[in-house]
Chain A
Amino acid sequence: MPDAKELAAERSSGPSGSGEGQLERDSLPYSKDTEGGRPTRKWAMTIDLDRCTGCHACETACAAENNIPVVGEQQAHQGRLHQWIRVERYWEGSYPNVKARFMPIPCQHCDNAPCEPVCPVYATYHNPEGLNAMAYNRCVGTRYCGNNCPYDVRMFNWFEHSWDEPLNQHLNPDVTVREKGVMEKCTFCVQRIRRAEEKSDAEGRELEPDEFTTACAQACPPKAITFGNVKDDRWSVSKLWNDPRRFRLLEELGTSPAVVYLKTVED
């Protein structure tokens, strides 16, 4: 987009940007030295599969935090289940020696996201903080992004959802209630990021390491999910980011996800 380029040029000429390293910065979608004068951030998540017990608490917390509708059994059967994070279950071995393995799968927030270039209206794009952003009010519902996502984490709103009487009071006011005809997906709890930024801005300081976390990470009983800024070494996620057990989901596709899984340790 020409607008974004102009803007980047404006920014680099300002007091916050430096002239050198311009080419390198522009070649990567998120890794500008500064975004609006702020230190660089890249939001990322690590999921320790050794710790995950498959309790589905992350799904529940996510549904409560992000106003995710309950579509019911019939719609779920038709593949229209709404879950921004899902726990996949795999059985290993045969009857006497069966092992269950679990894998929570949120949106991977890929750096080379396959969903982004196919959107005809730029409703989904990569923001400077490394988030795969989704602007609901821009979405026209072509569902190309959902079809192009190798992780199958994008949900389409086929109907206008409603919440029964006491439940409509639990909706989170910081999150849009998505209307019919738009795509939605995990946002890495961007509303919490913004809340934390507002708080730190008001107090005139930078974000503290591990100051906040996503709803799924907060609810995880064995602390399998860690969320944070990997560009800052003080965050606990950046200590786990280069763990020797690390792997990324479908890494051979070259999507470069921002979610790192840590392998189960075998006895």
Chain B
Amino acid sequence: MSRPVLIRFILIASLLLPASLCMAFFWPETTHERKTNWVGAPGPTQPIAFYHHVHVNELHIPCAYCHWTAANSRYANYPPVEVCWGCHKNISVTHPQIARVRQYYIDKKPIPWVRVNQQPGYVHFVHSSHIGAGIACATCHGNVGSMYAVYQPIEMNMGWCISCHRQYQKKFHPYQASVDCYTCHY
């Protein structure tokens, strides 16, 4: 390599390197990255130390008591503060965490729960179909009752969905589970 070419190469490289580093840090994130990633314990810190362990394992409250829209909607809801308050205006009112729930209730503000299970924007998962087919919540969400801070037990990726759609297609539902792309991606 001749000397002027070498100098030019070094100049261009010295310009490109910081540029690429800047791009790596400041490039806007794409939808492929907009996904919560709480796979494996521990889960995120929630605004209130809510114990699924107490509510599910000890008190045996069904999932649908708080997350009732899962049965007939695409999405499973967070319970509004009124649902917490419905029981906790009478139960363990002296607990410091319940005092915070009361404060949210008095202020008429929703509790800013941190979302743990989320699919990317191009996936349209439907809760109601899966509940209707008799799939237990724990199949995907794990044994939430044994978690102190809720986390994703498994990374919910497409291969995992498809494996179940192929394996259990005739067990739960008179129709086969569809493996067409247009079932979820549209």
Interface residues of A (CB under 8 A from B): 7, 11, 14-16, 35-38, 125, 127-129, 131, 133, 135-138, 160, 174-177, 179-180, 187, 190-191, 194, 198, 201-202
* Residue B175, interface by CB 8 Å: yes
Contacting pair B129 A201 (CB below 8 A): yes
- Per-residue A-contact encoding for B106-139, CB less than 8 Å = 1, 0 else: 0000000000000011111010110010000000
Given contacts A36-B175, A37-B175, A175-B186, contact A136 B122 (CB under 8 A): yes
Contacting pair B128 A202 (CB below 8 A): yes
**Per DSSP, are chain A's interface residues mostly helix, strand or loop, or mixed?**
loop
Query: What is the CB-to-nearest-CB distance from B71 to chain A, in angstroms, rounded to a whole number?
Result: 9
Given contacts A176-B122, A177-B31, A179-B31, contact A37 B132 (CB under 8 A): no
* Residue B36, interface by CB 8 Å: no
Contacting pair A135 B176 (CB below 8 A): no
Interface size, chain B (Cβ < 8 Å) = 30
Contacting pair B181 A138 (CB below 8 A): yes
Q: How far is the CA of A174 from the CA of B126 in the complex (A)?
A: 10
Residue of A nearest to B71 (CB): A202
Q: Could you show 13 A-B contacts with beta carbons less than 8 Å apart?
A: A14-B170, A15-B170, A36-B178, A38-B175, A125-B181, A129-B182, A135-B182, A137-B120, A174-B74, A176-B31, A179-B30, A187-B182, A194-B183
Q: How far is the CA of A131 from the CA of B120 in the complex (A)?
A: 23
- Per-residue A-contact encoding for B170-186, CB less than 8 Å = 1, 0 else: 10001111111111011
Given contacts A36-B175, A136-B185, A194-B124, contact A202 B72 (CB under 8 A): yes
Chain A residues with CB under 8 Å of B122's CB are 136-137, 176
Query: What is the CB-to-nearest-CB distance from B181 to chain A, in angstroms, rounded to a whole number?
Result: 5
Seed contacts A133-B182, A191-B124; 13 additional CB < 8 Å A-B pairs: A7-B166, A7-B179, A37-B175, A127-B182, A129-B182, A136-B122, A138-B185, A174-B124, A175-B186, A176-B31, A176-B121, A190-B182, A190-B186
Interface residues of B (CB under 8 A from A): 28, 30-32, 72, 74, 120-124, 126, 128-129, 132, 166, 169-170, 174-183, 185-186
Query: What is the CB-to-nearest-CB distance from B152 to chain A, in angstroms, rounded to a whole number?
Result: 20
Chain A residues with CB under 8 Å of B175's CB are 36-38, 201
10 shortest interchain CB distances as A-B pairs:
A36-B176, A37-B175, A176-B122, A137-B122, A135-B181, A133-B182, A190-B186, A135-B185, A179-B31, A127-B182
Contacting pair B32 A137 (CB below 8 A): yes
Q: How far is the CA of A234 from the CA of B105 in the complex (A)?
A: 53
Query: What is the CB-to-nearest-CB distance from B161 to chain A, in angstroms, rounded to a whole number?
Result: 13
Contacting pair B180 A187 (CB below 8 A): no
Contacting pair B182 A131 (CB below 8 A): yes
Residue of B nearest to A181 (CB): B30
